[in-house]
Amino acid sequence: MHKATLFKKTKEKKIQCLACSHYCKIPTEQTGICGIRENKDGELYLLVYGKAIAANIDPIEKKPLYHFMPGTKIFSIGTIGCNFQCSFCQNWDISQMSRTIKRRLKAESKEKDFEAQVTKMGYDLPPEKIIEYCQKKDIPSIAYTYNEPSIFFEYTFDTAKLAYEKGMKNVYVSNGYASHEAIDKIAPYLDAINVDLKSFSEEFYQKICKASLKPVLDNIEYYHKKGIWMEITTLLIPEENDSEEEIKQCAEFIASISKSIPWHISRFHPAYKMKDKASTSPKVLNKAYEIGKEAGLKYVYVGNIHDEKHQNTYCPECDELIIKRNWGYSKIINMENNQCGECGYKVEGAWNM
Ligand code: SF4
């Protein structure tokens, strides 16, 4: 348990958390929506500081980031809890764990045990240990991922700052719901981000994610203005967000921010409360790819499926194959000094950091 930094005090020992766009007002001895930030006697505490529930070494392409340090490894960490409750979450067992614990303890009338149970989830992995491990294994970057990083903000911030001091890079994999206060504070240490644009419908965000679309759109613009390298992912779920009209809205919105933002269209597979749905058909993914290109996006990719053609990077100017990919594999084919080897086009990305 660790004292949080992103909060302000309001009346009668209530506090307002400033880490994400929910801006929860939290009464004493309660947690906010994410279930891991608790008001204790008028101060806010992060219950999962230094407690990783998952930690893995991944190819950077898995995040997915296709225009950021290609071919390198990244150390990925996450905690329990989330500020979203997506019915299709692939990591629901960890993202919804604090809610599951709360429900169980309530049924057993043991609510007082909540803090003790949450703080024992995950294993001790303080920021210093993460850096030490990465340096030993020669891993150049760290991803705050699996659950929304802004909710365990202080853990990400301390780790990112230490990583920065050692010349390492930091990446958020985010649902786009961080507060501007969190973004402003992490920005000097954040090198890249992948943001989920889960849909272009307010109803989808409210019904399926228990959140709202607008902060996500605002933040995509905000990250871009801050100059943080950003790629966007949209998971296409049959009959939920896969109409041509909605795909076009997503693509045109991204293009309105910058046509150079890579857009990853990802294949849905049945999970959590959406086990009754089919996986996204390759036909729909290919159509979405075309829609992205028609909107003027220079880099559109199809993920979560073997489709080499739609995972490669081609030069937006002359169509030369620049980077070859397949799942976690990537190989630069014809790019030198960040330029297309054929026509010299400067390929957008944060390539050699
Ligand atoms: S991180 Fe978001 S969901 Fe969690 S307490 Fe803060 S404002 Fe609420």
Write the secondary structure of 35-87 as one string of H (helix), E (strand) and C (coil): CCEEEECCEEEECCCCEECEEEEEEHHHCCCCCECCCCEEEEEECCCCCCCCC
DSSP β-bridge partners for residue 15: 9, 26
> What's the pLDDT band for 246 if we cut at 50, 70, 90?
very high
Strands 25-26 and 15-17: antiparallel
Distance CA 4, CA 197 (A): 28
| Number of other residues whose CB lies within 10 A of the CB of residue 36 | 26
Mutate to test the pocket of ligand 1, among 25, 26, 37 (most ligand atoms within 8 A of CB): 37
> What's the pLDDT band for 11 if we cut at 50, 70, 90?
confident
Contact status, residue 156 vs residue 144, Cβ threshold 8 Å? yes
pLDDT digits (tens, 9 = 90+) for 210-224: 999 999 999 999 999
Given this model, what pLDDT does residue 326 score? 84
- Nearest Cα residue to atom 7 of ligand 1: 23
Domains and CATH numbers, the chain: 2-46 (no CATH), 197-311 (3.80.30.10), 312-353 (no CATH)
- Nearest Cα residue to atom 2 of ligand 1: 20
Distance CA 72, CA 204 (A): 35
Check pLDDT > 90 for residue 198. Answer: yes
Query: Does the beta carbon of 151 sit less than 6 angstroms from any atom of ligand 1?
Result: yes
Looking from the CA of residue 151, the nearest atom of ligand 1 is 1
Name the pTM for this structure.
Answer: 0.96
3-state secondary structure of 278: coil
Given this model, what pLDDT does residue 307 score? 87
Query: Does the beta carbon of 23 sit less than 6 angstroms from any atom of ligand 1?
Result: yes
Query: Does the beta carbon of 24 sit less than 6 angstroms from any atom of ligand 1?
Result: yes
pLDDT digits (tens, 9 = 90+) for 101-121: 999 999 999 989 998 999 999
Given this model, what pLDDT does residue 204 score? 98
Instruction: Give the DSSP H/E element, type plus range, for residue 125.
Output: none
Average pLDDT over residues 307-328: 93
Given this model, what pLDDT does residue 306 score? 87
Mutate to test the pocket of ligand 1, among 22, 174, 216 (most ligand atoms within 8 A of CB): 22
Query: Does the beta carbon of 34 sit less than 6 angstroms from any atom of ligand 1?
Result: yes
